[in-house]
Amino acid sequence: MKKSYIWTAPVLASALLFAALSPVVPVYAANGTAEETIQPTQAELREKYLDKMDLKSKDVLGFYHTSMNGSTDARKHNIKKAIKRINGQKLKQNETFSYNGTVGNSNISEDGWQKAGAIVNGQLVEDYGGGICQVSSTLFNAANEAGMTMVERHGHSKTVGYVPAGMDATVAYGYLDFQFANPFDEKVKIKAKTFDDEHVVIAIVRD
């Protein structure tokens, strides 16, 4: 059964506060010790990457950036593959976007998916398509900012590090999907791209 989620003001406020500040996050050095580093804000990243994507700010309804720094080559491969499949997707008014329907079955190797870290029942395991939830989570945050109507969205069974707590969107083909609808009387388009083998950038724009 599909679930609809309505974000309350406190949840949105918390997410916006997280995005507005420069969070201090641990980065692990080669010797295994944690070092603190200041991350750029979403506002700073927005300005940088909209220019790189040749997008005008007035046309952008929602934007989000996550980092795949430290990911294995297999995980990066899966992320880039998912990004390519959602890039350019368009939605008319009241049309619903399905992440699984667009990306396809990532649980098999035949479609070119590779084994990488994935969260299953609260445990980190190696599975085909590991990493694609970072794309769905990045997309969720961009769509949420854009004012899209959330149709189906599920959280991970374990906290992930690439988005604030409670702002993720896990997927499992044939079981859990991420879906949203366009409530506006104009078409919107998903612009998605990776940069420098590290940055995952998604924007929801007017078409």
Task: Quote the CA–CA distance of 179 and 34 in Å, as a whole number.
Answer: 37
Q: What is the DSSP string of 84-147?
A: HHHTT-EE-TT-EEEHHHHH---S-TTTT--EEEEEETTEEEEEETTTHHHHHHHHHHHHHHHT
Q: End-to-end CA distance of the chain: give it in Å, rounded.
A: 32
- What residues in the chain have per-residue pLDDT under 50? 1-35
pTM recorded for the entire structure: 0.81
pLDDT score for 37 = 57
User: Which one, of 173, 156, 168, lies nearest residue 102 by Cα?
Assistant: 173
H-helix or E-strand spanning residue 152? strand 149-152
- List pLDDT tens digits, range 79-134: 999 999 999 999 999 999 999 999 999 999 989 999 998 888 777 788 999 999 99
